[in-house]
């Protein structure tokens, strides 16, 4: 709070002196300062309440949910108030007299208001209630496998390692049970989310979320199509390879035309990388000997080696980094997240880290958010603009660090593997493609198209599951193990569908972007092969990343993109990266039946 006040004072003095006391600027600044002060207070209060309701979920006790609801309502009443909307609009009418930062802040105030307009206060209240109840249902759910209480980590483990297909099927089915309990809530939320933003003139909630990029829904969907088009020939090879290899692995002569969902090492088929083990770079076996604590500390160590500060003590004291027992009566959000509690230095992460490669990558991802928070928390960036250049940037930097931390020279340099051991670089590349390339078809394809159908096209509730599997087949080449009726809601088992709605294209963009950034770091900063880098200790890499992080949302993202990559957003860097794999896959797939169409 102290630093916010001092910022306003400095800003006010600066503005008055630079603009000969420009009346509009001063008035606008007074409004922004007043807004900011209240906003930060309510935001902090809301985050605290949400933190509690995501880390202490009890079946028969809704007190944390109710407290979160109340904090959300207070925030909504403020951000959506008629007065704030009118003021922001009034000042924006005199845009040319304002500073660019002020324009950004006022736009943010309006964007925020559109989700909570006072004119439909009752709808907003209903939505907040429905959202909090959905969270409690989703994360309070007790997963069961063969009559035993299990966690999502347990189910993921089975899907990653088990070779008995029946056992895989049981785990996959167990992981989808939660969807049934979420369907009613999701249908209700779709309607409430759409109606609230419609009050301020948006067509629907998806369109509202997309507008954060300054894009229309059509533009975003075209971008998704374009990325998939660029990567499709490679995906088709991977899909063909995977069908044959998995059939072999599970001991069946029948190679199915489409991949049965329970054959894949991830609940949604979004990441197939666990299907491949690379001799000499077997991170899972290295990590087995480490503790969960080590994973997070090691992530911090990588950032520190690049010149970032050590994490504040409060991060370690207040985060919730490790899983609760599978049968614990108190549950927590089982998905990873990073929190900027007060838009200042209280940063926390909520994870359920176990010592394996997936959590290793995720820990780096979350620390990317944390370091982004800490870096744009500076005097140049007012609290309202302490956000990513755009949401995809926020997702990209940590994932990039996670992927870099899995490359052989990095691991060898850290003494985690034997740098002299022979490794098959094609296998390593294959494993990465099964993560990154495969992910694009889930994120751009299935997820984004499902949410678009739901919010923009008002998909009928009796079509939710049919649509989900239609898209999974079309984009991912995946089918369910057996027909899944509308009593299931398999889309809702993906946490984002419930609590991070209409934003999954963020991740698709982030993956494409991070290959562009990584390519630049490898070639132009480190002068290393992008497929075999070692970021460790390179302060100049830290400087490059920090330069992206520091301005937060005070700079236009397209400008940041141009500055950081010198290019438009495209999949070229990703394609180049995996180029050596293409011929190898074609060779492997010779004589095999391709079942995906030649073009998407």
Torsion sign, CA atoms 176, 182, 188, 193? negative
Smaller CB separation from ligand X8Z, 284 or 500: 500
Residue 322: DSSP 8-state: S
Smaller CB separation from ligand X8Z, 118 or 510: 510
Residue 143 forms beta bridges with which residues? 150
Is 332 among the residues that bind ligand X8Z (CB under 6 A)? Answer: no
Whole-angstrom distance, CA of residue 487 vs CA of residue 298 = 44
Is 337 among the residues that bind ligand X8Z (CB under 6 A)? Answer: yes
Among residue numbers 152 through 181, which ones bind ligand X8Z (CB under 6 A)?
Answer: none
Is 305 among the residues that bind ligand X8Z (CB under 6 A)? Answer: no
Is 267 among the residues that bind ligand X8Z (CB under 6 A)? Answer: no
CA 114 to chain centre: 23
Which of Zn ion, ligand X8Z, none does residue 207 bind (CB under 5 to 8 Å by kind)? none
The full length of the chain comes to 600
For residues 307, 346, 376, 88, the Cα torsion angle rounded to the nearest 10 degrees is 180
Whole-number CA gyration radius for the chain = 24
Which of ligand X8Z, Zn ion, none does residue 431 bind (CB under 5 to 8 Å by kind)? none
For residues 499, 500, 501, 502, the Cα torsion angle rounded to the nearest 10 degrees is -170
Which is it for strands 148-150 and 143-145: parallel, antiparallel or unpaired?
A: antiparallel
Is 507 among the residues that bind ligand X8Z (CB under 6 A)? Answer: yes
Rounded least distance, CB 131 to Zn ion, Å: 19
Do residues 34 and 67 make contact, with C-beta atoms less than 8 angstroms apart? no
Place of tokens 């409004």: 31
Residue 336: DSSP 8-state: -
Rounded least distance, CB 338 to ligand X8Z, Å: 6
Among residue numbers 6 through 25, which ones bind ligand X8Z (CB under 6 A)?
Answer: none
Between CA 250 and CA 258, with CA 252 as vertex, the angle to 5 degrees is 85
Quick one: which of 236, 227, 230 has its CA closest to 258? Answer: 236
Distances, alpha carbon 207 to alpha carbons 76, 81, 412, 550, in Å? 20, 22, 46, 28
Is 336 among the residues that bind ligand X8Z (CB under 6 A)? Answer: yes
Among residue numbers 385 through 414, which ones bind Zn ion (CB under 5 A)?
Answer: 395
Q: Which stretch binds ligand X8Z (CB under 6 A): 44-52, 321-329, 331-339, 581-589?
A: 331-339
Smaller CB separation from ligand X8Z, 36 or 510: 510
Which of Zn ion, ligand X8Z, none does residue 507 bind (CB under 5 to 8 Å by kind)? ligand X8Z
Query: What do you get for the CA distance between the two ends of the chain, in Å?
Result: 52
Rounded least distance, CB 349 to ligand X8Z, Å: 9
Smaller CB separation from ligand X8Z, 31 or 339: 339
Smaller CB separation from ligand X8Z, 124 or 440: 440
Q: Using CB under 6 A as the criterion, what x/- string covers residues 358-387 for binding ligand X8Z?
A: ----x--x----------------------
The SS3 call for residue 99 is coil
Rounded least distance, CB 536 to ligand X8Z, Å: 23
Helix axis angle for 572-588 and 425-440, nearest 10°, is 120
Q: Using CB under 6 A as the criterion, what x/- string covers residues 520-559 for binding ligand X8Z?
A: ----------------------------------------
Which of ligand X8Z, Zn ion, none does residue 337 bind (CB under 5 to 8 Å by kind)? ligand X8Z
Do residues 449 and 475 make contact, with C-beta atoms less than 8 angstroms apart? yes
Which of Zn ion, ligand X8Z, none does residue 577 bind (CB under 5 to 8 Å by kind)? none
Spatial CB neighbours of 192, under 8 Å, sequence gap ≥ 6: 123, 126, 127, 130
Q: Which stretch binds ligand X8Z (CB under 6 A): 9-17, 124-132, 335-343, 552-560?
A: 335-343
Smaller CB separation from ligand X8Z, 232 or 507: 507
Distances, alpha carbon 29 to alpha carbons 6, 92, 105, 325, in Å? 14, 12, 10, 50
Rounded least distance, CB 343 to ligand X8Z, Å: 18
Rounded least distance, CB 26 to ligand X8Z, Å: 39
Contact residues toward Zn ion (CB under 5 A) are 395
Contact residues toward ligand X8Z (CB under 6 A) are 336-338, 362, 365, 507
């Amino acid at each position: 709070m102290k630093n916010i006040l001092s910022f306003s004072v400095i800003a006010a003095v600066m503005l008055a002196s630079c603009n000969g006391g420009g009346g509009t600027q001063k008035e606008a600044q007074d409004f922004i300062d007043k807004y900011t002060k209240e906003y930060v207070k309510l935001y902090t209060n809301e985050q605290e309440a949400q933190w509690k309701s995501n880390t202490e979920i009890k079946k028969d006790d809704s007190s944390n949910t109710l407290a979160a609801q109340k904090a959300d309502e207070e925030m909504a009443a403020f951000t959506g108030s008629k007065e704030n909307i009118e003021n922001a609009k009034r000042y924006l009418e005199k845009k040319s007299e304002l500073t660019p930062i002020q324009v950004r802040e006022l736009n943010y105030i309006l964007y925020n208001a559109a989700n909570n307009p006072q004119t439909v206060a009752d709808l907003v209240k209903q939505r907040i209630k429905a959202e909090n109840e959905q969270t409690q249902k989703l994360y309070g759910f007790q997963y069961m496998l063969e009559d035993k209480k299990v966690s999502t980590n347990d189910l993921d483990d089975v899907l990653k390692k088990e070779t008995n297909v029946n056992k895989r099927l049981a785990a996959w089915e167990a992981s989808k049970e939660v969807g049934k309990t979420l369907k009613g809530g999701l249908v209700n939320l779709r309607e409430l989310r759409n109606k609230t933003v419609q009050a301020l003139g948006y067509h629907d909630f998806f369109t509202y979320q997309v507008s954060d990029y300054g894009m229309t829904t059509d533009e975003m969907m075209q971008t998704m199509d374009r990325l998939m088009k660029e990567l499709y020939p490679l995906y088709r090879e991977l899909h063909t390879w995977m069908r044959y290899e998995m059939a072999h692995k599970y001991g069946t002569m029948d190679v199915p035309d489409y991949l049965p969902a329970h054959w894949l090492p991830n609940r949604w088929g979004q990441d197939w990388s666990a299907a491949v083990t690379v001799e000499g770079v077997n991170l899972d076996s290295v990590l087995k000997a480490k503790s969960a604590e080590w994973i997070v500390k090691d992530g911090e160590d990588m950032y520190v080696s690049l010149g970032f500060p050590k994490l504040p003590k409060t991060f370690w004291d207040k985060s919730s980094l490790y899983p609760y027992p599978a049968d614990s009566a108190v549950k927590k959000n089982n998905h990873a997240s990073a929190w900027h509690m007060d838009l200042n230095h209280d940063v926390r992460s909520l994870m359920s880290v176990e010592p394996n490669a997936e959590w290793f990558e995720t820990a780096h991802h979350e620390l990317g958010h944390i370091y982004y928070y800490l870096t744009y928390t500076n005097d140049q960036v007012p609290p309202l603009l302490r956000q990513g250049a755009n949401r995809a940037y926020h997702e990209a930097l940590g994932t990039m660090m996670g992927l870099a931390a899995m490359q052989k020279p990095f691991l060898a340099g850290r003494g985690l593997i034997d740098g002299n051991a022979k490794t098959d670089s094609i296998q390593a590349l294959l494993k990465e493609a099964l993560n990154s390339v495969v992910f694009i078809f889930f994120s751009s394809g299935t997820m984004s198209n499902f949410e678009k159908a739901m919010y923009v096209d008002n998909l009928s509730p009796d079509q939710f599951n049919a649509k989900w599997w239609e898209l999974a087949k079309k984009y991912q080449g995946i089918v369910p193990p057996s027909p899944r009726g509308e009593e299931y809601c398999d889309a809702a088992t993906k946490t984002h569908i419930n609590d991070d709605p209409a934003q999954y294209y963020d991740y698709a963009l982030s993956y494409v972007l991070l290959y562009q950034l990584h390519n630049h770091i490898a070639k132009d900063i480190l002068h290393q092969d992008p497929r075999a880098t070692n970021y460790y200790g390179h302060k100049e890499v830290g400087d490059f990343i920090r330069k992206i992080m520091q301005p937060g949302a005070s700079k236009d993202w397209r400008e940041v993109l141009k500055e950081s990559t010198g290019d438009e957003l495209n999949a070229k860097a990703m394609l180049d990266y995996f180029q050596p794999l293409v011929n190898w896959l074609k060779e492997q797939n010779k004589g095999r039946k391709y079942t995906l169409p030649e073009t998407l």
